[in-house]
Amino acid sequence: MSALYNYVLNLADNTLILGQRLSEWCGVGPFLEEDLALTNTSLDIIGQAKMLLELASEIKGDDETADDLAFMRDQHLFKNVLLVEQPNGDYAQTMLRQYMIDVYHVYLYEELSNSSHEKLAAIAEKSLKEVTYHKQRSELWIKRMALGTQESHKRMQNAMNHLWHYHHELFESNDEIDELVQQGIAANPEELHKKWDVEVKDLITQTPLEIPTTGWKATGGRVGHHSEYLGKMLCEMQFLQRAYPGCEW
């Protein structure tokens, strides 16, 4: 597959799998207003996934539709980072994961708004507005939980201990991506990482949270090596299309 297809598919799968995770909160949020607000986020994110998958399907150029890509691919063909497939856990874990992605998305879409690939730029421009709001929300929640009660701080620190190891993968590069950066299509991962680091660490210094200093770094999503969680997620998500292939819904 082309470098561009792989690049777009990574962005698409990140949003699709995150959106699927977020939608698990629908109806069971910590209070009604928050339930509704988080569902707004998942709607935005799944909407982005739909646009990006449509673009991927167009780039691929055969008869595989966006829905086919979402519902008929096996897990080793998914290219999302491992961060987004991590279980929702408690609200601290959900919100920290969200904040990590939100900051990434804001810088990513800012860059991609100027991409030489017109369609990608258009998607990025639209999505940027959405993720800017998502970040405002998740940032406040990080503060509320990190600085709220002892329990909430403990939970947020636990989330940090677990999730921090997953952020590096967002900024991984390879020859294909370097080439796309050269062509003015893709965002430079290294630049994104720098900006992300500054912003996230700035927020963390306003809280008593501590960043784990050592540990494992998640990797593998781009080449289809996922955590065990993804396969089970797909079993559920793809059930109808798999059980009754070729139907219209």
Partner 1 sequence: MKLYEVFLRAKAGLSHKHVGSVHATDAQMAMQNARDLYTRREEGESIWVVDSTQIISSNPTDKAAYFEPAEDKIYRHPSFYPFDKEVKNI
Partner 2 sequence: MYSQGLRDSQAGDDLPELLEAFQKRIDAEEKIEPRDWMPSAYRKTLIRQISQHAHSEIVGQLPEANWVSRAPTLKRKLILLAKIQDEAGHGLYLYSAAETLGESRHKMFEDLLSGKAKYSSIFNYPTLNWADAGAVGWLVDGAAIMNQVALCRTSYGPYSRAMVRICKEESFHQRQGYAIMLKMAKGSSEQKAMAQDALNRTWGPSLMMFGPSDKDSTHSNQSMKWKIKRFSNDDLRQKFIDATVPQAEYLGLTIPDKNLKYNDKTGHYDFSEIIWDELFDVIKGNGPCNQQRMDARNKAYNDGAWVREAAAVYAKKLNNKKEVA
CA distances to 97, 120, 143, 186, 202 from 205, rounded to whole Å, are 18, 35, 11, 31, 5
* CA gap 88, 86 in Å, rounded: 6
DSSP category for residue 184: T
Q: Which of 113, 152, 158, 161 binds partner 2 (CB under 8 A)?
A: 152
DSSP category for residue 245: T
Nearer to partner 1 among residue 31 and residue 244 (C-beta): 31
CA distances to 10, 139, 203, 218 from 80, rounded to whole Å, are 5, 23, 26, 12
Minimum CB separation of residue 102 from partner 1 in Å reads 14
Partner from partner 1, partner 2, none binding residue 20, C-beta < 5-8 Å depending on class = partner 2
Q: Decide if residue 63 touches partner 2 (CB under 8 A).
A: no
* Helix axes of 118-147 and 32-60: crossing angle, nearest 10 degrees: 150
Q: Which of 58, 74, 77, 148 binds partner 2 (CB under 8 A)?
A: 148
Q: Decide if residue 239 touches partner 2 (CB under 8 A).
A: yes
DSSP category for residue 170: G
Nearer to partner 1 among residue 22 and residue 120 (C-beta): 22
Tokens in use for 207?
A: 């809280």
Q: Decide if residue 160 touches partner 2 (CB under 8 A).
A: no
Q: Decide if residue 249 touches partner 1 (CB under 8 A).
A: no
Q: Decide if residue 37 touches partner 1 (CB under 8 A).
A: yes
Q: Decide if residue 137 touches partner 1 (CB under 8 A).
A: yes
Q: Which of 34, 110, 178, 179 binds partner 2 (CB under 8 A)?
A: 34
Binding region for partner 1 (CB under 8 A) out of 29-37, 154-162, 179-187, 201-209: 29-37
State which amino acid sits at residue 247: C
Q: Which of 114, 116, 136, 149 binds partner 1 (CB under 8 A)?
A: 136
User: Which H or E element spans position 119?
Assistant: helix 118-147
3-state class (DSSP) for residue 188 = coil
